[in-house]
């Protein structure tokens, strides 16, 4: 059966379709009902079924592939490579689970994981899944304040961290960030489990709170911890994503629906079968890392290559060397990463044998034609764009080489995947747009398995954030899109105040609030502007309080430092402008879209409601002069 027939069945008869897909995983108790959509926009998949992500990722494979490589953790920063079989992974995860149980973690408790791309991150996530705890992995590039916000929302029983990570040969201490976050937090956990990599010899330990993982591991190696069988709709994990209010949203994922969706995606989308290898270059702290560094490959009985390091170190051929060494069939990366490689000698693309590599998937941001051409022509491989969000958990738009590969159209992620009934509609009227017309990409409920079930402890915000934009109950992706006459969808950018920096979603409000903590700043507006490498970067426009005599350049650089201090390097402004006033309407609304248009040399739009025309002229002069701060300043 081809794509059209399979997709049509998945949306027209979802209970029959997904009932068949449920056989892709093992159930302790089979579901009694495939879909309960009686309370839209909420829905439940595989109701009454009991299963476990860790069991499906490890235990069920032990009899048939216990000696096969499950995880290959490669760090070109430390020079360490760990090849871990399914049987060894089972041993490590059980020791980790026993440690967490001894520290008082049980079913339903939250565990914050603040680790780089190392094997212990996988152990920790799977150990949580094994005992029914809910993990919340926080990207290691986030600063203490950002970590504290997530701790307070999740209220964890345990935090797991490393002494440090590394990037470009530079040690990045994690433990001081954790200590600072816990001092700021209103809900600090009673224990911190520390993975000491030997990178920070001066790492402080707090008596009575901090626990050394290596010591606990030695004590518990050989222990077997029983699997906690969870009802399909119990939460498996939380993953925080930026919102427009400045408060992160805790995306909540289920157990059974997520496992089934990933199992299906591994074969139909990524064309992987048991025993084959995938190199996913994402960090485990992102949704891609959860789904295709950890759970998806292991549920599928595959080998996952976990990489810590730069794509250019020790040389720009490192990823291709890994593909050659481990016989990788499918690679998954981002356009930003490929644009970094594109700056290097293209000869690196052909220095290693890529005979097993069939597909290169890219996601996280729109894929531009020059990057697509460079990669496809340089490797001779099929490059496949795909589109999804933290909320969806797996691709919502993609081509499917494992089922029925349609022709690639550069710039388009393709067609809806299973269970996604998508439309492109007018943002004002809700009417469907004709082919070639720009609109908002929406999904008709019920959302398919694998998508978020709600926001952590905030059903009302879930409904308001995703289903409250139109008269009709529709999930808004908050992305502009256009569909061509052949049905291919093209993503055009965000409709809200979230910007996409190298595939990382950042709320402009978060950055504005960080800048506003400086005493010299009166008002601030942040917009996303195009960047050749990262796709978008934050541009900061700020006014200073009356009486401030500090040099504007010094204040601009202080703003940049404050953003990095509070949110981490991923949020570093691309440019900072100190201006005398910001353009506003007569009702006091900041004209952020006009600022964005001016930065990009476009029409700033209707300015009939502008309170002070001089403010816009001041901004124009500032842009012509150039920024006083930010990573893009001359």
Query: Lowest mean pLDDT: which of 30-39, 57-66, 301-310, 556-565?
Result: 556-565
List the structure tokens of 196.
């000491």
Question: Is residue 634 scored above 50 in pLDDT?
Answer: no
Q: What's the rounded mean pLDDT across residues 417-432?
A: 96
User: Which of residues 191 and 168 earns the better pLDDT score?
Assistant: 191
Q: Which CATH class is domain 500-625?
A: alpha beta
Residue 517: pLDDT band by 50, 70, 90 thresholds? confident
User: Which of residues 159 and 140 earns the better pLDDT score?
Assistant: 159
User: Which of residues 219 and 621 earns the better pLDDT score?
Assistant: 219
Q: Report CA-CA distances (Å) from 50 to 60, 107, 228, 600.
A: 15, 14, 9, 52
Domain limits of the chain? 3-462, 500-625
Q: What is the pTM of this model?
A: 0.87
pLDDT digits (tens, 9 = 90+) for 325-377: 999 999 999 988 898 899 888 999 999 999 999 999 999 888 888 889 999 99
pLDDT digits (tens, 9 = 90+) for 108-121: 999 999 999 999 99
List the structure tokens of 304.
């996952």
Residue 615: pLDDT band by 50, 70, 90 thresholds? confident
3-462, what's its fold? Rossmann fold (3.40.50)
Q: Report CA-CA distances (Å) from 488 to 51, 333, 424, 611.
A: 36, 21, 11, 43
In this predicted structure, what is the pLDDT of residue 566? 87
Percent with pLDDT over 70 in the chain: 97
Question: How many angstroms separate the most distant Cα atoms in the chain?
Answer: 74
Residue 509: pLDDT band by 50, 70, 90 thresholds? confident
Residue 548: pLDDT band by 50, 70, 90 thresholds? confident
Percent with pLDDT over 90 in the chain: 74
Closest alpha carbon to 500 in 139, 242, 280: 242
Query: Are 622 and 579 contacting, i.e. CB atoms less than 8 angstroms apart?
Result: yes
Q: Residue 134, preceding bond cis, omega within 30 degrees? A: no
Q: Report CA-CA distances (Å) from 581 to 93, 341, 585, 617, 620.
A: 56, 41, 12, 10, 11
pLDDT digits (tens, 9 = 90+) for 241-252: 876 556 789 999
pLDDT digits (tens, 9 = 90+) for 470-483: 999 999 999 989 99
pLDDT digits (tens, 9 = 90+) for 93-147: 999 999 999 999 999 999 999 999 999 999 999 999 999 999 999 988 788 988 9
Question: Is residue 400 scored above 50 in pLDDT?
Answer: yes
State the residue for tokens 């494979």.
61
Q: What is the 3-state secondary structure (H, E, C) of 330-374?
A: EEEECHHHHHHHHCCCHHHHHCCCCCCCCEEEECCCCCCHHHHHH
In this predicted structure, what is the pLDDT of residue 243? 64
Residues with Cβ < 8 Å from 610, sequence gap 6 or more? 583, 584, 585, 586, 591, 616
């Amino acid at each position: 059966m081809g794509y059209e027939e399979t997709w049509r069945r998945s949306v027209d008869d979802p209970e029959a379709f997904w009932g068949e897909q449920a056989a892709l995983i093992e159930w302790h108790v089979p579901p009694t009902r495939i879909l309960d959509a009686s309370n839209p926009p909420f829905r439940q998949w595989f109701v009454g079924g009991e299963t476990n992500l860790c069991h499906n990722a490890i235990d069920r494979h032990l009899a048939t592939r216990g000696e096969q490589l499950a995880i290959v953790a490669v760090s070109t920063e430390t020079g360490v490579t760990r090849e871990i079989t399914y049987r060894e992974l089972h041993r490590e995860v059980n020791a980790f689970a026993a440690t967490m149980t001894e520290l008082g973690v049980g079913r339903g408790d939250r565990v914050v994981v603040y680790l780089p791309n190392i094997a212990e991150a996988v152990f920790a996530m799977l150990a949580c899944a094994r005992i029914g705890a809910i993990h919340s992995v926080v990207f290691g590039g986030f600063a203490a304040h950002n970590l504290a916000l997530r701790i307070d929302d999740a209220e964890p029983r345990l935090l797991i961290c490393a002494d440090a990570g590394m990037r470009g040969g530079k040690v990045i201490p994690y433990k001081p960030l954790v200590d600072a976050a816990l001092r700021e937090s209103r809900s600090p956990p009673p224990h911190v489990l520390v993975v000491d990599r030997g990178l920070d010899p001066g790492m402080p330990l707090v008596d009575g709170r901090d626990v050394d993982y290596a010591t606990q591991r030695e004590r518990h190696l050989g222990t077997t911890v029983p699997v906690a069988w969870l009802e399909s709709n119990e939460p498996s994990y939380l993953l925080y994503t930026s919102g427009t209010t400045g408060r992160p949203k805790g995306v909540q994922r289920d157990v059974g629906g997520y496992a089934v969706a990933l199992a299906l995606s591994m074969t139909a989308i990524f064309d992987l079968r048991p025993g084959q290898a995938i190199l996913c270059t994402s960090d485990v702290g992102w949704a891609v890392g959860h789904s295709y560094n950890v759970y998806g490959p292991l549920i599928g009985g595959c080998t996952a290559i976990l990489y810590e390091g730069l794509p250019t170190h020790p040389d720009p051929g490192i990823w291709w060397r890994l593909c050659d060494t481990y016989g990788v069939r499918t690679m998954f990366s981002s356009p930003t990463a490929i644009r970094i490689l594109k700056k290097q000698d293209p000869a690196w693309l052909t220095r290693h044998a890529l005979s097993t590599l069939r597909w290169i998937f890219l996601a996280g941001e729109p894929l531009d034609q020059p990057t697509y051409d460079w990669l496809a022509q340089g490797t001779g491989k099929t490059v496949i764009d795909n589109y999804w969000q933290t909320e969806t958990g797996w691709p919502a738009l993609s081509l499917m080489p494992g089922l029925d590969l349609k022709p690639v159209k550069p710039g388009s992620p393709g067609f809806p995947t299973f269970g996604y009934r998508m439309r492109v509609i007018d943002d004002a009227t809700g009417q469907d747009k004709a082919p070639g017309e720009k609109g908002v990409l929406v999904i008709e409920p019920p959302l398919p398995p694998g998508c978020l079930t709600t926001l952590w402890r905030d059903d009302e915000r879930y409904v308001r954030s995703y289903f409250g934009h139109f008269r009709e109950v529709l999930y808004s992706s908050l992305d502009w899109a256009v569909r061509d006459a052949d049905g291919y969808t093209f993503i055009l950018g965000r409709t809200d105040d979230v910007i996409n920096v190298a595939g990382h979603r950042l709320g402009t409000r978060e950055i504005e609030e960080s800048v506003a903590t400086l005493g010299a700043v009166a008002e601030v507006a942040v917009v996303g502007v195009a960047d050749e490498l990262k796709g978008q970067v934050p541009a900061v426009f700020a006014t200073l309080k009356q009486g401030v005599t500090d040099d504007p350049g010094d204040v601009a650089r202080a703003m940049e430092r404050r953003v990095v201090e509070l949110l981490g390097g991923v949020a570093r402004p691309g440019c900072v402008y100190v201006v005398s006033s910001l353009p506003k309407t007569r009702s006091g609304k900041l004209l952020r879209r006009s600022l964005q248009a001016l930065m990009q040399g476009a029409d700033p739009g209707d300015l009939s409601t502008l309170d002070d025309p001089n403010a816009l002229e001041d901004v124009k002069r500032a842009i012509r002069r150039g920024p006083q701060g930010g990573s893009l300043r001359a």
